[in-house]
Amino acid sequence: GAVVSQHPSWVICKSGTSVKIECRSLDFQATTMFWYRQFPKQSLMLMATSNEGSKATYEQGVEKDKFLINHASLTLSTLTVTSAHPEDSSFYICSAHRDAYGYTFGSGTRLTVV
Amino acid sequence: AQSVTQPDIHITVSEGASLELRCNYSYGATPYLFWYVQSPGQGLQLLLKYFSGDTLVQGIKGFEAEFKRSQSSFNLRKPSVHWSDAAEYFCAVGATSGTYKYIFGTGTRLKVLA
Query: What element of type H or E holds A27?
Result: none
Q: What pLDDT is attached to residue B48?
A: 92
Q: Which of residues 67-86 of A touch B (CB under 8 A)?
A: none
The model's pLDDT over A57-100, given as tens digits with 9 standing for 90+, comes to 999 999 999 999 998 888 999 999 999 999 999 999 999 887 66
- Least CB–CB distance from A49: residue in B41, B101, B109: B101
- Measured CA to CA, the distance from residue A15 to residue A109 in angstroms comes to 17
The mean pLDDT of B9-17, rounded to a whole number, is 96
Q: Which residues contact B82 (CB under 8 A, 6 or more apart)?
A: B15, B112
Dihedral (Cα; A37, B6, B94, B111), 10-degree rounding: 70
- Closest Cα partner for A71 from A37, A44, A94, A38? A94
pLDDT band at A3 (very low <50, low <70, confident <90, very high): confident
- Least CB–CB distance from A49: residue in B32, B34, B99: B99
- Closest Cα partner for A75 from A42, A40, A101, A110? A101
- Measured CA to CA, the distance from residue B24 to residue A3 in angstroms comes to 29
CA of A100 to nearest chain B CA: how many angstroms apart?
12
pLDDT of residue B14 exceeding 90: yes
pLDDT of residue A1 exceeding 70: no
The model's pLDDT over B19-33, given as tens digits with 9 standing for 90+, comes to 999 999 988 777 889
Please tell me which residue, B3 or B20, carries the higher pLDDT value.
B20
Residue A113: φ, ψ to 5°: -105, 125
Residue B63 near residue A72 (C-beta atoms within 8 A):
no
Average pLDDT across chain A, whole number? 90
- Least CB–CB distance from A43: residue in B42, B46, B105: B105
Q: What pLDDT is attached to residue A105?
A: 87
